[in-house]
């Protein structure tokens, strides 16, 4: 069976580190010489990678299509109105058929079980391009961004131990994979969510289990008070309060999340570290972060966005070109 990338939980701490290091190496070499190294240029030549997306996407689509093209392959974008899946054909039949003609499937889905089932029935690697539980490609880019902003590049580990991340907002897919990745790499993560929007118990168990695979795991703290999460944080991060598929609850959610907007005053009141930086996977809405922070000097959101490309190249290289060997 092929090896799939459905969540950061599928990676050992060393593998996550290698994926991030490779992403960084590709970024440095490709940007400095302004071209793709020969070894990568034709890695997927003559191959098609299917991209089945049941939801909108800017970054994931552009970075993944760009990464496939950079490796010499042909991306085939299949939006929900393009294929029979869901209307006229089962996931099983779709997985069998698409995987019989392609080198990999990059899938954006609603319920995580859809991408898990796709992986179960596919004869080629499946990469999760966002489900309601996880967003691994985002987190590879996020760890790269954290490493670039906070570090000198050190030996085999990324040297992120001791960094503290504060997540202020919704307990969602991006948070779950970020918490898994952070704690695997020895970073602490403090999560502030409003009452009633906490990390579900089953997910808390997944995060703690993932952390336990690390030599020096980071810790997960949870609170309903943003200031408590922010104390001594190096990084303040959030995401939308209304994820795709939750649009019906918009009014209720906007009310529940009042007071959770990331602003300079909140960071100060909470006692963030002097040099805190701001991250957001995007797309961004003004309610979750003030314009001042979002467009200010602490914000690394556009670097984080660009890093999606380098993360996608690294993930495709590992899971498609090298068949799941993360070297």
Binding site for ligand CP (CB under 6 A): 57-60, 130, 138, 281-283
Q: Are 239 and 174 in contact, with CB atoms under 8 Å apart?
A: yes
Question: Considering only 21-29, 104-112, 115-123, 168-176, which stretch makes contact with ligand NVA by CB under 6 A?
Answer: 168-176
| Residue 138 C-beta: closest distance to ligand CP, Å | 5
Residue 174 touches ligand NVA, criterion: CB under 6 A: yes
The Cα-based distances of 168 to 50, 143, 219 in angstroms read 35, 18, 16
Q: Which is nearer to ligand NVA, 13 or 194 (CB)?
A: 194
Nearest to 289 by CA among 264, 320, 314, 319: 264
Q: Is 280 a catalytic residue?
A: no
Member of 17, 94, 172, 261 binding ligand NVA (CB under 6 A): 172
Q: Are 191 and 220 in contact, with CB atoms under 8 Å apart?
A: yes
Residue 281 touches ligand NVA, criterion: CB under 6 A: yes
d(CA 43, CA 50): 16
| Residue 32 C-beta: closest distance to ligand NVA, Å | 29
Q: Which residues contact 244 (CB under 8 A, 6 or more apart)?
A: 55, 56
Residue 239 touches ligand NVA, criterion: CB under 6 A: yes
| Residue 243 C-beta: closest distance to ligand NVA, Å | 3
Member of 223, 243, 264, 290 binding ligand NVA (CB under 6 A): 243
Q: Are 282 and 135 in contact, with CB atoms under 8 Å apart?
A: no
| Residue 327 C-beta: closest distance to ligand NVA, Å | 29
**Residue 34, preceding bond cis, omega within 30 degrees?**
no
CA geometry: angle at 169 spanning 164 and 173, to 5°? 85
Active-site residue identified among 20, 68, 281, 313: 281
Member of 22, 52, 99, 173 binding ligand NVA (CB under 6 A): 173
Our measurement of the distance from residue 119's CA atom to the centroid of its chain's CA atoms, rounded to an integer in Å, reads: 18
Q: Which residues are paired to 235 by β-bridges?
A: 165, 277
**Contacted entry of ligand NVA, ligand CP, none for residue 240, CB cut-off 5 to 8 Å set by kind:** ligand NVA
Annotated catalytic residues are: 281
Q: Applying CB under 6 A, which residues contact ligand NVA?
A: 130, 172-174, 239-240, 243-244, 281
């Amino acid at each position: 069976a092929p090896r799939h990338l459905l969540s950061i939980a599928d990676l050992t701490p060393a593998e996550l580190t290698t994926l991030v290091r490779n992403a960084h190496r590709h970024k440095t070499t490709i940007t400095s010489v302004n071209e793709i190294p020969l070894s990568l240029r034709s890695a997927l030549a003559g191959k098609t990678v299917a991209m089945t997306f049941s939801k909108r996407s800017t970054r994931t689509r552009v970075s993944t299509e760009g990464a496939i093209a950079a490796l010499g392959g042909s991306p085939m974008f299949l939006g929900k109105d393009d294929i029979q899946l869901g209307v006229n054909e089962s996931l099983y039949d779709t997985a069998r058929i698409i995987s019989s003609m392609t080198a990999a499937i990059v899938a954006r889905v609603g319920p995580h079980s859809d991408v898990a089932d796709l992986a179960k029935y596919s004869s080629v690697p499946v990469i999760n391009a966002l489900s309601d539980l996880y967003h691994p490609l985002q987190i590879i880019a996020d760890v790269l961004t954290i490493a670039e902003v906070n570090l000198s590049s050190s030996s085999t580990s990324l040297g992120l131990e001791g960094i503290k991340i504060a997540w202020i907002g919704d307990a969602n897919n991006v948070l779950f994979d970020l918490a898994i990745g952070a704690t695997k790499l020895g970073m602490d993560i403090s999560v502030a969510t409003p009452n009633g929007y906490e990390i579900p118990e089953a997910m808390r168990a997944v995060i703690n289990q993932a952390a336990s695979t690390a030599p020096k795991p980071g810790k997960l703290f949870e609170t309903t008070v943003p200031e408590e999460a922010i104390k001594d944080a190096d990084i303040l991060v959030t995401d939308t309060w209304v994820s795709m598929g939750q649009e019906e609850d918009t009014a209720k959610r906007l009310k529940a999340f009042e007071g959770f907007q990331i602003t300079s005053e909140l960071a100060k009141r909470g006692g963030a570290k002097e040099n805190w930086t701001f991250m957001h996977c995007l797309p961004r809405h003004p309610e979750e972060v003030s314009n001042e922070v979002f467009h200010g000097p602490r914000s690394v959101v556009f670097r984080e966005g660009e890093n999606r490309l380098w993360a996608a190249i690294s993930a495709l290289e590992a899971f498609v070109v090298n068949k799941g060997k993360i070297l």
